[in-house]
A and B are shown apart, each in its own frame.
Chain A
Protein backbone atom coordinates (compact mmCIF):
# COMPACT_ATOMS: atom_id res chain seq x y z
CA UNK A 1 0.00 0.00 0.00
CA UNK A 2 1.32 3.41 -0.86
CA UNK A 3 0.98 6.21 1.68
CA UNK A 4 0.23 9.86 1.00
CA UNK A 5 3.71 10.77 2.24
CA UNK A 6 5.25 8.46 -0.34
CA UNK A 7 3.04 9.98 -3.05
CA UNK A 8 4.21 13.46 -2.04
CA UNK A 9 7.89 12.39 -2.09
CA UNK A 10 7.55 10.82 -5.51
CA UNK A 11 5.77 13.88 -6.85
CA UNK A 12 8.75 16.00 -5.84
CA UNK A 13 11.09 13.62 -7.64
CA UNK A 14 9.32 14.12 -10.95
CA UNK A 15 11.16 17.33 -11.67
CA UNK A 16 14.44 16.68 -9.94
CA UNK A 17 16.21 19.81 -11.14
CA UNK A 18 13.41 22.09 -10.06
CA UNK A 19 13.07 20.42 -6.67
CA UNK A 20 16.82 20.59 -6.20
CA UNK A 21 16.99 24.29 -7.03
CA UNK A 22 14.16 25.05 -4.63
CA UNK A 23 15.89 23.01 -1.94
CA UNK A 24 19.13 24.92 -2.54
CA UNK A 25 17.26 28.21 -2.13
CA UNK A 26 15.77 27.12 1.18
CA UNK A 27 19.09 25.64 2.26
CA UNK A 28 20.99 28.87 1.63
CA UNK A 29 18.44 31.06 3.37
CA UNK A 30 18.33 28.65 6.33
CA UNK A 31 22.11 28.71 6.50
CA UNK A 32 22.14 32.49 6.59
CA UNK A 33 19.28 32.69 9.10
CA UNK A 34 20.69 30.21 11.61
CA UNK A 35 24.22 31.65 11.27
CA UNK A 36 22.95 35.14 11.99
CA UNK A 37 20.81 33.97 14.88
CA UNK A 38 23.84 32.05 16.12
CA UNK A 39 25.90 35.20 15.78
CA UNK A 40 23.34 37.21 17.74
CA UNK A 41 23.61 34.72 20.58
CA UNK A 42 27.32 33.99 20.22
CA UNK A 43 28.41 37.62 20.20
CA UNK A 44 26.62 38.34 23.43
CA UNK A 45 27.94 35.14 25.04
CA UNK A 46 31.48 35.87 23.86
CA UNK A 47 31.25 39.45 25.05
CA UNK A 48 30.03 38.27 28.46
CA UNK A 49 32.89 35.81 28.58
CA UNK A 50 35.45 38.47 27.64
CA UNK A 51 34.10 40.81 30.24
CA UNK A 52 33.98 38.09 32.87
CA UNK A 53 37.56 37.21 31.96
CA UNK A 54 38.67 40.77 32.52
CA UNK A 55 38.76 39.67 36.13
CA UNK A 56 37.52 42.99 37.44
CA UNK A 57 34.10 44.57 37.12
CA UNK A 58 35.08 48.23 37.27
CA UNK A 59 37.96 50.27 35.93
CA UNK A 60 38.97 53.77 37.01
CA UNK A 61 40.96 55.89 34.60
CA UNK A 62 41.84 59.53 33.97
CA UNK A 63 39.28 61.85 32.46
CA UNK A 64 40.09 62.99 28.95
CA UNK A 65 39.00 62.98 25.35
CA UNK A 66 39.03 59.41 24.18
CA UNK A 67 39.56 60.34 20.54
CA UNK A 68 42.69 62.29 21.30
CA UNK A 69 43.95 59.42 23.40
CA UNK A 70 43.19 56.93 20.65
CA UNK A 71 45.04 59.00 18.06
CA UNK A 72 48.06 59.36 20.30
CA UNK A 73 47.94 55.66 21.06
CA UNK A 74 47.86 54.62 17.41
CA UNK A 75 50.78 56.87 16.62
CA UNK A 76 52.82 55.34 19.42
CA UNK A 77 52.31 58.02 21.99
CA UNK A 78 51.74 57.51 25.67
CA UNK A 79 48.06 57.31 25.12
CA UNK A 80 45.67 57.72 27.96
CA UNK A 81 46.17 60.36 30.56
CA UNK A 82 47.52 59.27 33.89
CA UNK A 83 46.27 59.01 37.43
CA UNK A 84 48.20 58.95 40.67
CA UNK A 85 49.06 55.54 41.97
CA UNK A 86 48.09 56.65 45.47
CA UNK A 87 44.48 56.58 44.33
CA UNK A 88 44.63 52.78 44.62
CA UNK A 89 44.93 53.09 48.40
CA UNK A 90 41.87 55.30 48.68
CA UNK A 91 39.86 52.89 46.55
CA UNK A 92 40.89 49.62 48.12
CA UNK A 93 39.64 50.80 51.51
CA UNK A 94 36.10 51.37 50.33
CA UNK A 95 33.68 48.88 51.90
CA UNK A 96 32.33 47.60 48.56
CA UNK A 97 35.76 46.85 47.13
CA UNK A 98 37.15 43.34 47.34
CA UNK A 99 40.43 43.95 45.51
CA UNK A 100 42.08 46.70 43.51
CA UNK A 101 45.12 46.62 41.27
CA UNK A 102 47.04 49.41 39.52
CA UNK A 103 47.80 49.04 35.79
CA UNK A 104 49.96 51.08 33.47
CA UNK A 105 49.30 50.66 29.75
CA UNK A 106 52.06 51.84 27.47
CA UNK A 107 52.68 51.61 23.77
CA UNK A 108 55.97 52.04 21.98
CA UNK A 109 56.59 52.47 18.31
CA UNK A 110 58.55 49.60 16.79
CA UNK A 111 60.03 50.60 13.40
CA UNK A 112 60.86 46.97 12.60
CA UNK A 113 57.33 45.70 13.03
CA UNK A 114 56.34 45.27 9.40
CA UNK A 115 56.98 47.85 6.71
CA UNK A 116 56.56 51.29 8.21
CA UNK A 117 56.61 50.00 11.77
CA UNK A 118 53.88 49.23 14.28
CA UNK A 119 52.86 49.51 17.88
CA UNK A 120 54.16 47.28 20.63
CA UNK A 121 51.97 47.40 23.71
CA UNK A 122 52.82 46.49 27.30
CA UNK A 123 50.82 46.14 30.51
CA UNK A 124 52.59 47.12 33.72
CA UNK A 125 51.03 45.16 36.60
CA UNK A 126 51.81 44.25 40.21
CA UNK A 127 52.58 40.60 40.83
CA UNK A 128 51.17 41.08 44.34
CA UNK A 129 47.69 42.21 43.29
CA UNK A 130 47.09 41.53 39.58
CA UNK A 131 47.08 37.69 39.55
CA UNK A 132 44.31 37.69 42.18
CA UNK A 133 42.11 39.41 39.59
CA UNK A 134 42.71 36.61 37.12
CA UNK A 135 42.48 33.40 39.09
CA UNK A 136 41.84 31.41 35.92
CA UNK A 137 45.30 32.21 34.51
CA UNK A 138 47.45 29.10 34.12
CA UNK A 139 51.08 29.02 33.15
CA UNK A 140 52.33 26.97 30.24
CA UNK A 141 55.90 27.69 31.33
CA UNK A 142 57.35 29.60 34.26
CA UNK A 143 55.43 31.87 36.61
CA UNK A 144 54.77 35.53 37.53
CA UNK A 145 57.60 38.01 38.16
CA UNK A 146 60.03 37.22 40.94
CA UNK A 147 60.90 40.85 41.45
CA UNK A 148 58.48 43.79 41.28
CA UNK A 149 61.31 45.88 39.88
CA UNK A 150 62.91 43.19 37.77
CA UNK A 151 63.58 43.35 34.05
CA UNK A 152 61.09 40.56 33.47
CA UNK A 153 58.08 39.83 31.33
CA UNK A 154 55.18 37.39 31.27
CA UNK A 155 53.74 36.75 27.81
CA UNK A 156 50.32 35.71 26.70
CA UNK A 157 50.15 32.46 24.72
CA UNK A 158 49.89 33.98 21.28
CA UNK A 159 52.32 36.80 21.95
CA UNK A 160 54.90 34.15 22.86
CA UNK A 161 54.05 32.12 19.79
CA UNK A 162 54.42 35.08 17.45
CA UNK A 163 57.76 36.08 18.96
CA UNK A 164 58.85 32.43 19.32
CA UNK A 165 59.77 33.04 22.95
CA UNK A 166 60.29 30.56 25.74
CA UNK A 167 61.07 31.13 29.41
CA UNK A 168 64.62 32.40 29.59
CA UNK A 169 64.52 34.18 26.21
CA UNK A 170 64.86 37.96 25.98
CA UNK A 171 62.55 40.55 24.45
CA UNK A 172 63.43 44.13 23.63
CA UNK A 173 61.28 47.18 24.40
CA UNK A 174 61.53 49.10 21.09
CA UNK A 175 62.69 52.64 21.17
CA UNK A 176 63.87 52.32 24.78
CA UNK A 177 66.41 49.59 24.08
CA UNK A 178 65.54 47.82 27.33
CA UNK A 179 65.86 44.04 27.45
CA UNK A 180 63.41 42.01 29.47
CA UNK A 181 63.69 38.35 30.35
CA UNK A 182 60.68 36.14 29.76
CA UNK A 183 59.86 34.45 33.07
CA UNK A 184 56.43 33.09 32.29
CA UNK A 185 54.22 32.13 29.35
CA UNK A 186 50.49 31.77 29.96
CA UNK A 187 48.20 29.07 28.70
CA UNK A 188 45.65 30.13 26.09
CA UNK A 189 42.72 31.98 27.69
CA UNK A 190 40.75 32.81 24.57
CA UNK A 191 40.77 36.51 25.50
CA UNK A 192 42.81 39.59 24.68
CA UNK A 193 45.30 38.52 27.35
CA UNK A 194 46.64 35.93 24.86
CA UNK A 195 48.28 38.71 22.92
CA UNK A 196 49.47 40.76 25.90
CA UNK A 197 52.96 41.26 27.32
CA UNK A 198 52.90 41.85 31.11
CA UNK A 199 55.79 43.66 32.77
CA UNK A 200 56.28 44.57 36.46
CA UNK A 201 54.58 47.91 37.07
CA UNK A 202 57.64 49.53 38.59
CA UNK A 203 59.79 48.37 35.68
CA UNK A 204 57.43 49.81 33.09
CA UNK A 205 57.14 53.04 35.04
CA UNK A 206 60.93 53.31 35.03
CA UNK A 207 61.10 52.60 31.27
CA UNK A 208 58.38 55.18 30.61
CA UNK A 209 59.88 57.70 33.06
CA UNK A 210 56.67 58.10 35.01
CA UNK A 211 55.43 57.14 38.44
CA UNK A 212 51.80 57.27 37.48
CA UNK A 213 49.36 54.66 36.22
CA UNK A 214 46.62 54.63 33.60
CA UNK A 215 43.94 52.44 35.16
CA UNK A 216 42.87 50.80 38.39
CA UNK A 217 41.12 47.46 38.12
CA UNK A 218 38.51 46.90 40.80
CA UNK A 219 36.86 43.68 41.89
CA UNK A 220 33.61 44.34 43.71
CA UNK A 221 32.48 42.24 46.68
CA UNK A 222 29.75 39.78 45.75
CA UNK A 223 27.03 41.32 47.85
CA UNK A 224 28.07 44.94 47.31
CA UNK A 225 26.06 47.61 45.57
CA UNK A 226 28.11 48.18 42.43
CA UNK A 227 26.11 51.22 41.31
CA UNK A 228 26.67 52.93 44.65
CA UNK A 229 30.39 52.26 44.41
CA UNK A 230 30.45 53.70 40.90
CA UNK A 231 28.82 56.90 42.10
CA UNK A 232 31.29 57.13 44.98
CA UNK A 233 34.22 56.65 42.60
CA UNK A 234 32.90 59.41 40.34
CA UNK A 235 33.45 61.81 43.24
CA UNK A 236 37.20 61.22 42.96
CA UNK A 237 38.89 64.09 41.15
CA UNK A 238 39.63 63.84 37.41
CA UNK A 239 38.63 60.24 36.91
CA UNK A 240 36.27 58.25 34.72
CA UNK A 241 34.63 55.06 35.94
CA UNK A 242 34.02 52.26 33.49
CA UNK A 243 31.71 49.46 34.40
CA UNK A 244 32.03 46.44 32.18
CA UNK A 245 28.36 45.74 32.46
CA UNK A 246 27.87 49.16 30.93
CA UNK A 247 30.54 48.40 28.34
CA UNK A 248 28.63 45.35 27.34
CA UNK A 249 25.35 47.25 27.19
CA UNK A 250 26.90 50.03 25.14
CA UNK A 251 28.45 47.63 22.67
CA UNK A 252 25.23 45.69 22.38
CA UNK A 253 23.34 48.95 21.77
CA UNK A 254 25.82 49.96 19.10
CA UNK A 255 25.59 46.71 17.28
CA UNK A 256 21.84 46.42 17.84
CA UNK A 257 21.16 48.38 14.69
CA UNK A 258 23.56 46.21 12.73
CA UNK A 259 21.98 43.11 14.23
CA UNK A 260 18.49 44.24 13.25
CA UNK A 261 19.71 44.98 9.75
CA UNK A 262 21.42 41.67 9.18
CA UNK A 263 18.51 39.81 10.71
CA UNK A 264 16.20 41.64 8.33
CA UNK A 265 18.38 40.53 5.46
CA UNK A 266 18.17 36.94 6.68
CA UNK A 267 14.40 37.15 6.93
CA UNK A 268 14.17 38.64 3.46
CA UNK A 269 16.34 35.81 2.17
CA UNK A 270 13.98 33.35 3.82
CA UNK A 271 10.93 35.02 2.30
CA UNK A 272 12.53 34.98 -1.13
CA UNK A 273 13.22 31.27 -0.70
CA UNK A 274 9.59 30.77 0.26
CA UNK A 275 8.48 32.57 -2.88
CA UNK A 276 10.54 29.98 -4.68
CA UNK A 277 8.70 27.25 -2.79
CA UNK A 278 5.32 28.72 -3.69
CA UNK A 279 6.38 28.97 -7.32
CA UNK A 280 7.64 25.41 -7.42
CA UNK A 281 4.55 23.92 -5.82
CA UNK A 282 2.20 26.08 -7.85
CA UNK A 283 3.91 25.11 -11.10
CA UNK A 284 3.77 21.51 -10.02
CA UNK A 285 0.02 21.83 -9.33
CA UNK A 286 -0.58 23.45 -12.72
CA UNK A 287 1.31 20.66 -14.44
CA UNK A 288 -0.60 17.99 -12.56
CA UNK A 289 -4.10 19.36 -12.98
CA UNK A 290 -5.17 16.26 -14.93
CA UNK A 291 -3.74 13.96 -12.30
CA UNK A 292 -5.36 15.88 -9.47
CA UNK A 293 -8.64 15.53 -11.31
CA UNK A 294 -8.05 11.80 -11.61
CA UNK A 295 -7.18 11.56 -7.91
CA UNK A 296 -10.56 13.12 -7.21
CA UNK A 297 -12.29 10.62 -9.39
CA UNK A 298 -10.54 7.93 -7.34
CA UNK A 299 -12.06 9.30 -4.18
CA UNK A 300 -9.65 11.96 -2.97
CA UNK A 301 -11.49 14.74 -1.18
CA UNK A 302 -10.48 18.39 -1.61
CA UNK A 303 -8.92 18.16 1.86
CA UNK A 304 -6.89 15.10 0.82
CA UNK A 305 -5.46 16.95 -2.15
CA UNK A 306 -4.77 20.00 0.02
CA UNK A 307 -2.80 17.94 2.52
CA UNK A 308 -1.00 16.04 -0.23
CA UNK A 309 0.29 19.25 -1.76
CA UNK A 310 0.97 20.75 1.66
CA UNK A 311 3.02 17.68 2.52
CA UNK A 312 5.22 18.42 -0.51
CA UNK A 313 5.83 21.90 0.91
CA UNK A 314 6.61 20.40 4.30
CA UNK A 315 9.13 17.98 2.78
CA UNK A 316 10.86 20.75 0.80
CA UNK A 317 11.11 23.12 3.76
CA UNK A 318 12.18 20.43 6.24
CA UNK A 319 14.87 18.97 3.97
CA UNK A 320 16.11 22.39 2.88
CA UNK A 321 16.07 23.65 6.45
CA UNK A 322 17.93 20.64 7.84
CA UNK A 323 20.53 20.87 5.05
CA UNK A 324 21.04 24.59 5.63
CA UNK A 325 21.34 24.22 9.38
CA UNK A 326 23.79 21.33 8.97
CA UNK A 327 25.95 23.42 6.65
CA UNK A 328 25.84 26.28 9.13
CA UNK A 329 27.11 23.92 11.85
CA UNK A 330 29.86 22.54 9.62
CA UNK A 331 30.98 25.97 8.45
CA UNK A 332 30.42 27.86 11.70
CA UNK A 333 34.17 28.35 12.01
CA UNK A 334 34.29 29.98 8.57
CA UNK A 335 31.35 32.22 9.48
CA UNK A 336 33.25 33.13 12.64
CA UNK A 337 36.30 34.20 10.62
CA UNK A 338 34.10 36.19 8.24
CA UNK A 339 32.39 38.05 11.10
CA UNK A 340 35.73 38.91 12.68
CA UNK A 341 36.92 40.50 9.43
CA UNK A 342 33.81 42.61 9.18
CA UNK A 343 33.36 43.74 12.79
CA UNK A 344 35.52 46.55 14.20
CA UNK A 345 35.52 44.87 17.58
CA UNK A 346 34.89 41.24 18.27
CA UNK A 347 35.36 39.48 21.58
CA UNK A 348 37.33 36.28 21.85
CA UNK A 349 35.77 32.85 21.73
CA UNK A 350 33.06 31.50 19.48
CA UNK A 351 31.17 34.30 17.74
CA UNK A 352 28.66 32.06 16.03
CA UNK A 353 27.06 29.87 18.70
CA UNK A 354 24.58 27.40 17.24
CA UNK A 355 23.23 24.90 19.73
CA UNK A 356 20.53 22.26 19.29
CA UNK A 357 17.82 24.52 20.74
CA UNK A 358 18.60 27.25 18.21
CA UNK A 359 18.78 24.74 15.38
CA UNK A 360 15.38 23.29 16.26
CA UNK A 361 13.84 26.74 16.67
CA UNK A 362 15.18 27.89 13.30
CA UNK A 363 13.92 24.73 11.62
CA UNK A 364 10.52 25.33 13.19
CA UNK A 365 10.47 28.90 11.84
CA UNK A 366 11.40 27.71 8.35
CA UNK A 367 8.78 24.97 8.38
CA UNK A 368 6.04 27.24 9.71
CA UNK A 369 6.81 30.00 7.21
CA UNK A 370 6.97 27.37 4.48
CA UNK A 371 3.65 25.87 5.43
CA UNK A 372 2.05 29.30 5.46
CA UNK A 373 3.47 29.95 2.01
CA UNK A 374 2.19 26.58 0.84
CA UNK A 375 -1.41 27.25 1.77
CA UNK A 376 -2.30 28.97 -1.50
CA UNK A 377 -0.98 26.31 -3.91
CA UNK A 378 -2.49 23.57 -1.76
CA UNK A 379 -5.83 25.34 -1.66
CA UNK A 380 -5.71 25.82 -5.42
CA UNK A 381 -4.99 22.14 -5.90
CA UNK A 382 -7.89 21.21 -3.63
CA UNK A 383 -10.26 23.27 -5.71
CA UNK A 384 -9.46 21.53 -8.98
CA UNK A 385 -12.61 20.04 -10.45
CA UNK A 386 -12.14 16.70 -12.11
CA UNK A 387 -14.31 17.62 -15.01
CA UNK A 388 -12.35 20.74 -15.88
CA UNK A 389 -9.06 18.96 -15.63
CA UNK A 390 -10.01 15.96 -17.78
CA UNK A 391 -10.29 16.69 -21.47
CA UNK A 392 -13.93 16.79 -22.50
CA UNK A 393 -15.69 16.46 -25.79
CA UNK A 394 -18.99 18.19 -25.85
Chain B
Protein backbone atom coordinates (compact mmCIF):
# COMPACT_ATOMS: atom_id res chain seq x y z
CA UNK B 1 0.00 0.00 0.00
CA UNK B 2 2.83 2.36 0.94
CA UNK B 3 4.53 1.63 -2.34
CA UNK B 4 1.34 2.18 -4.35
CA UNK B 5 0.69 5.56 -2.78
CA UNK B 6 4.30 6.57 -3.17
CA UNK B 7 4.29 5.45 -6.79
CA UNK B 8 1.22 7.50 -7.66
CA UNK B 9 2.50 10.42 -5.63
CA UNK B 10 5.75 10.40 -7.50
CA UNK B 11 4.03 10.61 -10.86
CA UNK B 12 1.61 13.21 -9.62
CA UNK B 13 4.52 15.25 -8.32
CA UNK B 14 6.22 15.36 -11.65
CA UNK B 15 2.98 16.22 -13.41
CA UNK B 16 2.28 18.90 -10.81
CA UNK B 17 5.60 20.48 -11.56
CA UNK B 18 4.51 20.70 -15.16
CA UNK B 19 1.31 22.41 -14.04
CA UNK B 20 3.24 24.83 -11.87
CA UNK B 21 5.40 25.89 -14.70
CA UNK B 22 4.07 28.85 -16.59
CA UNK B 23 4.80 26.89 -19.75
CA UNK B 24 6.20 23.41 -20.32
CA UNK B 25 9.96 23.51 -20.54
CA UNK B 26 11.21 24.16 -24.06
CA UNK B 27 7.73 24.90 -25.47
CA UNK B 28 7.79 27.30 -28.36
CA UNK B 29 6.83 30.86 -27.39
CA UNK B 30 4.70 31.53 -30.40
CA UNK B 31 1.24 33.04 -30.73
CA UNK B 32 -1.25 30.29 -31.46
CA UNK B 33 -4.91 30.38 -30.72
CA UNK B 34 -5.62 28.09 -27.75
CA UNK B 35 -8.76 26.78 -29.43
CA UNK B 36 -8.96 27.81 -33.09
CA UNK B 37 -12.13 25.79 -33.71
CA UNK B 38 -13.87 27.95 -31.14
CA UNK B 39 -12.06 31.25 -31.73
CA UNK B 40 -12.14 31.47 -35.53
CA UNK B 41 -15.97 31.49 -35.79
CA UNK B 42 -16.06 34.06 -33.01
CA UNK B 43 -13.83 36.42 -34.99
CA UNK B 44 -15.25 35.50 -38.40
CA UNK B 45 -18.90 34.41 -37.90
CA UNK B 46 -19.30 33.94 -41.66
CA UNK B 47 -16.40 31.47 -41.91
CA UNK B 48 -16.83 27.80 -42.75
CA UNK B 49 -13.21 26.68 -42.47
CA UNK B 50 -9.67 27.86 -41.84
CA UNK B 51 -6.16 26.87 -42.80
CA UNK B 52 -3.11 27.19 -40.55
CA UNK B 53 0.02 28.47 -42.28
CA UNK B 54 3.45 28.86 -40.72
CA UNK B 55 5.68 31.70 -41.84
CA UNK B 56 9.21 32.30 -40.69
CA UNK B 57 11.17 35.46 -41.36
CA UNK B 58 14.23 33.30 -42.04
CA UNK B 59 12.50 31.61 -44.99
CA UNK B 60 10.46 34.61 -46.14
CA UNK B 61 13.38 37.00 -46.59
CA UNK B 62 16.04 36.29 -43.98
CA UNK B 63 18.09 39.02 -42.30
CA UNK B 64 17.13 41.81 -44.75
CA UNK B 65 13.43 41.22 -44.03
CA UNK B 66 14.06 41.10 -40.28
CA UNK B 67 15.86 44.45 -40.41
CA UNK B 68 13.09 45.93 -42.56
CA UNK B 69 10.40 44.84 -40.12
CA UNK B 70 12.37 46.06 -37.11
CA UNK B 71 12.90 49.42 -38.78
CA UNK B 72 9.19 49.74 -39.49
CA UNK B 73 8.33 48.83 -35.92
CA UNK B 74 11.09 50.86 -34.28
CA UNK B 75 13.45 48.33 -32.75
CA UNK B 76 13.69 49.69 -29.22
CA UNK B 77 10.01 50.06 -28.57
CA UNK B 78 8.36 47.28 -30.47
CA UNK B 79 10.86 44.46 -30.42
CA UNK B 80 10.03 41.17 -32.04
CA UNK B 81 11.64 39.08 -29.27
CA UNK B 82 11.53 35.82 -31.21
CA UNK B 83 14.59 34.61 -33.17
CA UNK B 84 14.54 34.83 -36.95
CA UNK B 85 13.63 31.19 -37.57
CA UNK B 86 10.72 30.91 -35.11
CA UNK B 87 7.54 30.41 -37.15
CA UNK B 88 4.61 32.82 -36.95
CA UNK B 89 1.19 31.20 -37.13
CA UNK B 90 -1.18 32.67 -39.66
CA UNK B 91 -4.79 31.54 -39.97
CA UNK B 92 -6.33 31.90 -43.44
CA UNK B 93 -10.11 32.12 -43.10
CA UNK B 94 -12.47 30.70 -45.72
CA UNK B 95 -16.11 30.83 -46.53
CA UNK B 96 -16.60 27.70 -48.61
CA UNK B 97 -13.71 27.89 -51.05
CA UNK B 98 -13.33 31.64 -50.97
CA UNK B 99 -10.81 33.30 -48.68
CA UNK B 100 -12.43 36.00 -46.58
CA UNK B 101 -9.67 37.14 -44.22
CA UNK B 102 -6.83 36.40 -41.85
CA UNK B 103 -6.19 35.98 -38.13
CA UNK B 104 -2.74 36.60 -36.73
CA UNK B 105 -1.48 37.02 -33.16
CA UNK B 106 1.45 38.75 -31.48
CA UNK B 107 2.74 38.94 -27.94
CA UNK B 108 3.16 42.44 -26.57
CA UNK B 109 4.50 43.70 -23.29
CA UNK B 110 1.85 44.75 -20.79
CA UNK B 111 1.94 46.15 -17.27
CA UNK B 112 2.06 42.84 -15.45
CA UNK B 113 2.72 40.33 -18.15
CA UNK B 114 2.51 39.59 -21.84
CA UNK B 115 -0.59 40.55 -23.82
CA UNK B 116 -1.51 38.19 -26.64
CA UNK B 117 -3.43 40.17 -29.26
CA UNK B 118 -5.08 38.30 -32.11
CA UNK B 119 -6.19 40.49 -34.96
CA UNK B 120 -8.88 39.60 -37.50
CA UNK B 121 -8.26 41.30 -40.85
CA UNK B 122 -10.21 41.42 -44.09
CA UNK B 123 -8.57 40.93 -47.47
CA UNK B 124 -7.86 44.66 -47.84
CA UNK B 125 -5.81 44.64 -44.66
CA UNK B 126 -8.35 46.45 -42.49
CA UNK B 127 -9.02 45.33 -38.95
CA UNK B 128 -12.40 43.63 -38.49
CA UNK B 129 -11.97 43.06 -34.77
CA UNK B 130 -9.42 41.71 -32.33
CA UNK B 131 -9.30 39.29 -29.44
CA UNK B 132 -7.05 39.39 -26.40
CA UNK B 133 -6.22 35.80 -25.52
CA UNK B 134 -4.04 36.63 -22.51
CA UNK B 135 -3.55 39.66 -20.31
CA UNK B 136 -2.64 40.14 -16.64
CA UNK B 137 -4.14 42.62 -14.26
CA UNK B 138 -7.38 44.41 -13.64
CA UNK B 139 -7.40 46.14 -16.99
CA UNK B 140 -8.25 42.84 -18.53
CA UNK B 141 -12.00 43.17 -18.25
CA UNK B 142 -12.33 46.47 -20.10
CA UNK B 143 -9.74 45.76 -22.78
CA UNK B 144 -11.15 42.32 -23.51
CA UNK B 145 -14.63 43.75 -23.97
CA UNK B 146 -15.88 43.31 -27.56
CA UNK B 147 -17.23 46.87 -27.48
CA UNK B 148 -13.67 48.14 -27.13
CA UNK B 149 -12.50 45.95 -30.02
CA UNK B 150 -15.33 47.27 -32.26
CA UNK B 151 -13.84 50.75 -32.07
CA UNK B 152 -10.94 49.48 -34.17
CA UNK B 153 -13.06 48.08 -37.00
CA UNK B 154 -11.90 49.49 -40.34
CA UNK B 155 -8.52 50.68 -39.05
CA UNK B 156 -5.58 49.85 -41.27
CA UNK B 157 -1.83 50.27 -41.15
CA UNK B 158 -2.17 53.64 -42.82
CA UNK B 159 -3.96 54.96 -39.74
CA UNK B 160 -0.79 54.37 -37.77
CA UNK B 161 1.06 56.77 -40.09
CA UNK B 162 -0.51 59.63 -38.18
CA UNK B 163 -0.39 58.04 -34.72
CA UNK B 164 2.54 56.70 -32.74
CA UNK B 165 1.48 54.08 -30.17
CA UNK B 166 4.86 54.30 -28.45
CA UNK B 167 4.55 57.97 -27.49
CA UNK B 168 0.76 57.97 -27.55
CA UNK B 169 0.76 61.09 -29.72
CA UNK B 170 -0.91 61.72 -33.05
CA UNK B 171 -4.10 62.34 -34.91
CA UNK B 172 -6.73 60.43 -36.73
CA UNK B 173 -9.03 57.52 -35.91
CA UNK B 174 -6.72 55.88 -33.40
CA UNK B 175 -6.16 59.09 -31.47
CA UNK B 176 -9.94 59.36 -31.11
CA UNK B 177 -10.21 56.06 -29.26
CA UNK B 178 -10.46 56.72 -25.54
CA UNK B 179 -8.50 54.64 -23.05
CA UNK B 180 -11.16 52.80 -20.98
CA UNK B 181 -8.67 52.22 -18.13
CA UNK B 182 -6.68 55.43 -17.63
CA UNK B 183 -4.92 53.96 -14.56
CA UNK B 184 -3.46 51.15 -16.68
CA UNK B 185 -1.93 53.11 -19.53
CA UNK B 186 0.78 50.53 -20.17
CA UNK B 187 -1.77 47.87 -21.07
CA UNK B 188 -3.87 50.25 -23.24
CA UNK B 189 -0.85 51.32 -25.25
CA UNK B 190 0.36 47.73 -25.16
CA UNK B 191 -2.77 46.73 -27.10
CA UNK B 192 -2.22 49.54 -29.61
CA UNK B 193 1.41 48.56 -30.06
CA UNK B 194 0.37 44.95 -30.44
CA UNK B 195 -2.07 45.94 -33.19
CA UNK B 196 0.56 47.97 -35.01
CA UNK B 197 3.04 45.09 -34.74
CA UNK B 198 0.39 42.76 -36.12
CA UNK B 199 -0.41 45.08 -39.02
CA UNK B 200 3.26 45.53 -39.97
CA UNK B 201 3.97 41.80 -39.83
CA UNK B 202 0.87 41.00 -41.89
CA UNK B 203 1.81 43.69 -44.39
CA UNK B 204 5.22 42.07 -44.86
CA UNK B 205 4.08 38.45 -44.73
CA UNK B 206 0.95 38.71 -46.90
CA UNK B 207 -0.04 42.03 -48.38
CA UNK B 208 3.34 43.05 -49.79
CA UNK B 209 3.38 39.84 -51.80
CA UNK B 210 -0.15 40.44 -53.05
CA UNK B 211 0.76 43.95 -54.12
CA UNK B 212 3.74 42.56 -55.97
CA UNK B 213 1.51 40.19 -57.96
CA UNK B 214 -0.74 42.99 -59.19
Q: How far, in angstroms, from A170 to B137 measured CA to CA in the complex?
A: 11
Residue from A112, A192, A196, A247 having most chain B Cβ neighbours under 10 A = A112
Q: How far, in angstroms, from A159 to B22 measured CA to CA in the complex?
A: 6
Q: Which residue of A lies closest to B42 (CB)?
A: A115
Q: How far, in angstroms, from A344 to B19 measured CA to CA in the complex?
A: 12
Decide: A246 and B6 in contact? CB cutoff 8 A: yes
Which residues of chain A in 110-151 are interfacial with respect to chain B, using CB atoms and an 8 Å cutoff? 110-115, 119-123
Using C-beta atoms within 8 Å of the partner chain, give the interface range for chain B.
Answer: 35 or more
Q: Which residues of B contact A123 (CB under 8 A)?
A: 20
Q: Which residues of A contact B13 (CB under 8 A)?
A: 59, 61, 242, 247
Residue from B8, B21, B34, B108 having most chain A Cβ neighbours under 10 A = B21
Which residues of chain A in 246-268 are interfacial with respect to chain B, using CB atoms and an 8 Å cutoff? 246-247, 250-251, 254
Decide: B113 and A163 in contact? CB cutoff 8 A: yes
Interface size on A, residues (CB 8 A): 60
Which residues of chain B in 4-36 are interfacial with respect to chain A, using CB atoms and an 8 Å cutoff? 5-27, 29, 34-35
Q: Which of B21, B35, B38 is in CB contact (< 8 Å) with A196?
A: B21
Q: How far, in angstroms, from A177 to B111 measured CA to CA in the complex?
A: 13
Render B97-111 as a binary contact track against A, CB cut-off 8 A, 1 for contact: 000000000011111
Q: How far, in angstroms, from A240 to B7 measured CA to CA in the complex?
A: 11
Decide: A112 and B23 in contact? CB cutoff 8 A: no
Decide: B134 and A114 in contact? CB cutoff 8 A: yes
Shortest beta-carbon distance, A47 to chain B, in Å? 9
Decide: B16 and A171 in contact? CB cutoff 8 A: no
Name the prevailing secondary structure of the A interface residues. Answer: mixed
Q: Which residues of A contact B23 (CB under 8 A)?
A: 158-159, 162, 194-195
B73 on interface, CB distance cutoff 8 Å? no
Q: Which residues of B contact A169 (CB under 8 A)?
A: 109
Given A112-B144, A162-B107, the answer on whether A250 and B11 have CB atoms closer than 8 Å is yes
Decide: B19 and A345 in contact? CB cutoff 8 A: no
Q: Which residues of B contact A111 (CB under 8 A)?
A: 140
Decide: B22 and A196 in contact? CB cutoff 8 A: yes
Shortest beta-carbon distance, A217 to chain B, in Å? 12
Decide: B14 and A240 in contact? CB cutoff 8 A: no
Q: Which residue of B lies closest to A242 (CB)?
A: B10
Q: Which residue of B lies closest to A65 (CB)?
A: B5
Residue from A196, A241, A254 having most chain B Cβ neighbours under 10 A = A196
Q: What is B's interface to A at a CB cutoff of 8 Å? A: 5-27, 29, 34-35, 38-39, 81, 107-114, 133-138, 140, 144
Complex A-B: 15 CB contacts under 8 Å: A74-B19, A107-B20, A110-B136, A112-B136, A121-B20, A161-B81, A162-B23, A164-B108, A170-B111, A172-B112, A174-B136, A193-B21, A195-B27, A246-B6, A251-B10
